[in-house]
Structure 1
Amino acid sequence: MSPSEPVLGVPRWPVEPEPVDPTGASYLVLCLGLDPRAVDVAAEWAAEAERIAPTRLLSIAGIDRDRPRVDVALHAARTGVRILVAGEQYDVLLTLALAREYGAAAAELQCFVVDAAPGHPTALPVYCAHCRWTHRVLGDPGGEVTCPGCARHLEIHPHHSALRGSFLASDARARELA
């Protein structure tokens, strides 16, 4: 694999926000967190969407804290909705997974991540294969962290589960024990 080829299982984030899909019957714009870039992107998307169809803009502090508000908004969404999510990688990944739980299809989802830059660790949702829980950790796929749940030294695999919204992690020393 050449260095320019993407690693399979790792999300690719657009450098600039994509325009609103004009085929939506309605729009739900989610602004996750207070990052100024996320706020600007969500406001621009909402203004663009309002010219097309009914639009709801929901701003929250983060998915861990305000999930019930997102649940209500997603529960109210109907066929043809376009869900646009802007925020930090951790919140975006978990929110997209939640939208999928509510039945959103890939064509109905759009996102913009404000804090993902290659080589700069960010908060990631990581599923620990040992304690079987998803945790917020600072790291990158291929990196190592200590699990906040079971305290194992984990390797974050470059495998992201869109349904779970997290990266898989397992004991970093497992290969040595075999």
Structure 2
Amino acid sequence: MKLLNVTSPPPVTSITPQFLKTIQDHFFVGQTGLLSFGGSIVAWGGLFNPLNSGVNVVINDTTLSDLGVNAFTADLYLGSVPPGRKITSSLTTATNLSLPLAKPKAKLKFNPAVRGVPQGGTFAFIRRVETDTTQVIDVSGRIILPPGGTFFALLKTQVFTQSRIGFAWWEERIK
């Protein structure tokens, strides 16, 4: 019996959007400074896309780490203005470490201890973070911040504790 001469299809490689953005120098990670809060003192950290950035910020995930001895609640907001002053974190980097390092257009900002509540925007969802754990909120690109957009977590608890908030995101140039 003679077999047909069939050409096999070419191999196909599937890569995630996150990996593609990493090799294109468009994927970034960062974290806040140490946040200390409790009682009437809250803390927050988030991503801010400047009005003149020329990019959409696509959020991959957020991590909420409880570094203290008390659980806390994280209220997550979209398009809101957080209370108090905004400190820009220096703890951000491209995940592709080829030189020169790409610089994100988005700004990771935080306030480690402040009184007040967010203004405007949308209270999107809530998470409870237990003692000595890290909660990962994987949105895999389902939250997109246009220029002028914000996404942040406001942390609160009745008893003093400490935390850090981390973010991973990529940036899509607006055509």
Q: TM-score range by the shorter chain?
A: under 0.3
TM-score, with length taken from structure 2 = 0.26
Higher helix share: 1
Of structures 1 and 2, the one with the larger relative CO (CA 8 A, separation 6+) is 2
Q: What is the TM-score of this pair, normalised by structure 1? A: 0.26
> Which structure has greater strand proportion?
2
